[in-house]
């Protein structure tokens, strides 16, 4: 019995093949030589009325190479659902038997709804070697940092020797560039043994421009009824859409069941065009969560949605699509403006103001239906019903780092003290944080856009990249030579991390570890309770967050500007609980974290906020309560109207 509707599934005596090719009259599986690649014997599959070709081929087993031939043509094609492309997407497909890998992760619980600390990772640049094996050797450091879940950038096979992975074409074949399929399984197995979950970034909104053979088998995979900026839109709601939907839904299940991924990140869901009664994202989310039940663990589905449609993470019973969390670009954009002061291109609708930071951390999207000048239309839908844990926040990610002039990271574009303060605010707030590889130790490696294509396509990609970056005046006016060529191998090589910087930048690394340890252990932060979070603006560049957690009240003061004295300080959220006082717990300007010094911010209720500094206080019982001899504001009025009292006062 088959597990999936398409692809090659090996058994005891051979392999069963199934391919959807509704316009074809004949389809053969052609054996390929493992040494020369020469075509060998062909095996005709049986056609059914629904356009599927299927059949068992005796003798073909794990590791054997094959191709497909349509209608007797000379041209040999890879399987649209190939499980491996050892010679790249244009080469022959390879049979993979997933049962041959012996897993050791039984009982791994998956990804809980709350408590996640995500870590976005590109396997090819995470280490010098750029392999699954080398990446696995760094897992212990990620556990030490406080990471809980790895988010791997796309792995679907793509042409060339390097790339981001968003131009994938072999959607069922993990790219051969980082290792064999079992090397990926071993990496995930080792991650689970270390206590780390692993989710995969999948791209279902388009296929890459080179090496995509789906259309050769069925033009119905695509539609011209929608405009997609990256290529042809996938046909999820038109004629013959049912097999297309099945192909992508089963692909999501495949990564979870056969590779034990603990969830998925769905790329650009706004370009998954679907006017069906039930949206394709809802089908993918439902199938993924059902796969988790089969594996006896909880899976985690994160969605990117640029127009900020909150229903993508809504309850399916109320018309939502059932994803667990959403990327929140709004937080990144306002934090970036706060860090750099630049409001160019798509940052123009953000001021980096304390109010924006508070609102993004409390309510998620800043734009939930208001007018958005950059796009000259309203942006977003109401997300007030979503919890803070349903928003993934970040100060860096692959897109935003690459969209700077030299691929520089945000910590390289702002004052170090300001970066520490923003990091403290971000990592202690309720939303789910995501670090970008190397961020925890202040990596100096840039992250450029890189893609290895044949020369004609490479020239188009390079020109397109320059055109995209021209929306930023700071880039458009710069020397064109400073924009790296995406197709140059040197562009790719410069992005590789140097993990020795973890020791070189030990102070920044210590700050991240301490903040994530607090997030993990302190009840005020651990539960991600947005209903216990309250904020106030203290000045043009200063704010506070008050965590009203019973028995564990916390106060976070953040000043992103110059020194600020709050005297008077008529803000009730500054006051400690009755019978308590504020004691400093952590300060981003501590010398341990690379700061110059820090000054306690509170002296008998008078507050002095150090510049570019975040300070965390916890409420602790006062050692003793002195007798009060203070007079109320009304005492003077009472004295003035009572001569006896006035005399008594004078006699004292």
Please answer whether residues 557 and 617 qualify as being in contact, where contact means their C-beta atoms are separated by less than 8 angstroms. Answer: yes
Q: Which residues of the chain have pLDDT under 70?
A: 480, 600, 624-652
Is 30 inside a domain boundary?
yes
Q: Among residues 392, 387, 401, 385, which one has the least CA distance to residue 426?
A: 392
Give domain status of residue 89, yes or no: yes
* CATH number of the domain bearing residue 568: 2.60.40.1180
Place of tokens 């300001």: 418
Beta-ladder partners of 607: 566, 602
- Of 248, 260, 258, give the one whose Cα is nearest residue 286: 248
Among 225, 231, 229, CA closest to 207: 231
Number of domains in the chain: 2
Choose among 308, 319, 317: nearest CA to 392.
Answer: 308
- Whether 94 is covered by a domain: the verdict is yes
- pTM of this prediction? 0.94
Residue carrying structure tokens 């969390």? 325
Question: Are the C-beta atoms of 128 and 139 separated by less than 8 Å?
Answer: no
- For 95, the domain range is 7-100
Q: What local confidence, expressed as pLDDT, does residue 476 receive?
A: 78
Number of Cα atoms under 13 Å in the Cβ half of residue 292: 22
Q: Which of 304, 349, 541, 590 is catalytic?
A: 304
Distance CA 399, CA 394 (A): 11
Tokens of 623: 């050692």
Catalytic residue list contains 399: no
- Alpha-carbon Rg for the chain, nearest whole angstrom, is 29
161 catalytic residue (yes or no): no
Q: Alpha carbon 213 to chain centroid distance?
A: 29
CB 243 within 8 A of CB 235: no
Residues in the chain, total: 652
In this structure, is residue 149 part of a structural domain?
Answer: no
Distance CA 380, CA 309 (A): 5
CB atoms within 10 A of CB 101: 17
376-419: pLDDT as tens digits: 999 999 999 999 999 999 999 999 999 987 899 999 999 999 99
Hey, what long-range contacts does 477-480 have (CB within 8 A, 24 or more apart)? Answer: 478/405
Indicate left, alpha or beta for 492 from its phi (over 0: left) and psi (-120 to 50: alpha): alpha
Helix (H, G, I), strand (E, B) or coil at 64: coil
CATH number at residue 41: 2.60.40.10
81 within some domain: yes
- Predicted pLDDT of residue 649: 33
**Residue 11 parent element (H or E):** none
Going 620 to 621 to 622 to 628, the CA torsion angle's sign is positive
State the catalytic residue, choosing from 157, 189, 237, 267.
Answer: 267
**Per-residue confidence (pLDDT) for residue 625, from 0 to 100:** 52
| Residue with the two structure tokens 């709350």 | 114
Cα angle, residue 507 at apex, residues 505 and 510 outer, rounded to 5°: 110
Q: What share of the chain is helix, strand, coil (3-state, %, to 5)?
A: 35, 20, 45
Give domain status of residue 563, yes or no.
Answer: yes
Single out the residue in 100, 116, 142 at which a domain terminates: 100
**Does the bond joining 209 to the residue before it have cis omega, within 30 degrees of 0?**
no
Domain finish residue from 72, 100, 128: 100
Q: What span, in angstroms and rounded, lies between the C-alpha atoms of 536 and 542? A: 9
Is 251 inside a domain boundary?
no
Q: How far apart are CA 236 and CA 242, in angstroms?
A: 8
> Is 511 domain-assigned?
no
Look at residues 51, 61, 72 and name the one whose alpha carbon lies nearest to residue 6.
Answer: 51
Residues 43, 40: Cα–Cα separation, whole Å: 10
**DSSP three-state, residue 97:** coil
Domain endpoint, select from 100, 131, 157: 100
């Amino acid at each position: 019995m088959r597990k999936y509707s398409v692809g090659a599934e090996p058994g005891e005596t051979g392999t069963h093949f199934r391919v959807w090719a509704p316009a074809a009259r004949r389809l053969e599986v052609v054996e390929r030589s493992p040494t020369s690649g020469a075509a060998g014997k062909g095996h005709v599959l049986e056609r059914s009325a629904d356009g599927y070709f299927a059949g068992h081929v005796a003798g073909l087993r794990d590791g054997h190479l094959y191709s497909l031939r349509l209608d007797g043509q000379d041209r040999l094609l890879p399987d649209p659902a190939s499980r491996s492309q050892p010679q790249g997407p244009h080469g022959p497909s390879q049979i993979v038997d997933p049962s041959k890998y012996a897993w050791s992760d039984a009982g791994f619980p998956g990804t809980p709804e709350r408590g996640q600390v995500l870590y976005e990772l590109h396997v090819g640049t995470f280490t010098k070697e750029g392999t699954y094996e080398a990446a696995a050797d760094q897992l212990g450091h990620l556990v030490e940092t406080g990471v809980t879940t790895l988010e791997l950038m796309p792995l679907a096979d793509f042409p060339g020797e390097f790339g981001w992975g968003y131009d994938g074409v072999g959607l069922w074949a993990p790219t051969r560039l980082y290792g064999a399929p079992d090397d990926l399984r071993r990496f995930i197995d080792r991650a689970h043994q270390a206590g780390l979950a692993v989710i995969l970034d999948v791209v279902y909104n388009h296929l890459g421009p080179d090496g995509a053979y789906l259309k050769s088998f069925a033009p119905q995979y695509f539609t011209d009824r929608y405009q997609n900026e990256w290529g042809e839109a996938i046909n999820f709601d038109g004629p013959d859409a049912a097999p297309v939907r099945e192909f992508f839904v089963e692909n999501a299940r495949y990564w979870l069941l056969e590779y034990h991924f603990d969830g998925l990140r769905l790329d650009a869901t706004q370009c998954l065009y679907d006017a069906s009664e039930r949206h394709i994202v809802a089908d993918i989310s439902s199938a993924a969560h059902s796969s988790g039940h089969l594996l006896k663990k909880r899976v985690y589905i994160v969605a990117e949605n640029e127009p900020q449609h909150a229903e993508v993470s809504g309850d399916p019973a109320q018309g939502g699509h059932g994803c667990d969390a959403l990327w929140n670009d709004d937080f990144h954009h306002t934090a970036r403006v706060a860090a750099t002061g630049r409001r160019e291109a798509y940052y123009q609708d953000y001021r980096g103001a304390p109010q924006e930071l508070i609102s993004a951390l409390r309510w998620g999207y800043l734009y939930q239906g208001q007018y958005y000048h950059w796009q000259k239309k309203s942006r977003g839908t109401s997300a007030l019903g979503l919890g803070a844990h349903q928003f993934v926040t970040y100060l860096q990610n692959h897109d935003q780092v690459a969209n700077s002039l030299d691929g520089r990271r945000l910590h390289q574009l702002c004052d170090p003290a300001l970066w520490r303060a923003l990091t403290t605010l971000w990592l202690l707030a309720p939303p789910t944080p995501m670090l970008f590889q190397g961020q925890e130790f202040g990596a100096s490696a840039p992250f450029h856009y890189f893609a290895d294509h044949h020369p004609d396509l490479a020239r188009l990609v390079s020109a397109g990249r320059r055109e995209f970056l021209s929306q930023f005046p700071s880039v458009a006016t710069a020397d064109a030579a400073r924009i790296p060529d995406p197709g140059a191998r040197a562009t790719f090589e410069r992005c590789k991390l140097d993990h020795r910087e973890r020791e070189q930048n030990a102070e920044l690394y210590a700050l991240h570890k301490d903040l994530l340890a607090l997030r993990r252990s302190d009840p005020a932060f651990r539960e991600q309770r947005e209903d216990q979070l309250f904020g106030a603006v203290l000045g043009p560049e200063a704010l506070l967050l008050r965590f009203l957690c019973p028995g564990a009240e916390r106060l976070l003061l953040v000043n992103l500007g110059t020194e600020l004295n709050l005297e008077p300080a008529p803000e009730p959220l500054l006051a400690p609980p009755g019978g308590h006082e504020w004691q400093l717990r952590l300060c981003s300007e501590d010398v341990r974290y690379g700061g110059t010094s820090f000054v306690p911010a509170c002296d008998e209720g008078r507050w002095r906020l150090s510049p570019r500094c975040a300070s965390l206080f916890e409420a602790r019982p006062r050692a003793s309560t002195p007798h009060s001899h203070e007079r109320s504001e009304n005492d003077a009025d009472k004295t003035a109207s009572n001569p006896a009292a006035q005399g008594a006062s004078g006699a004292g």
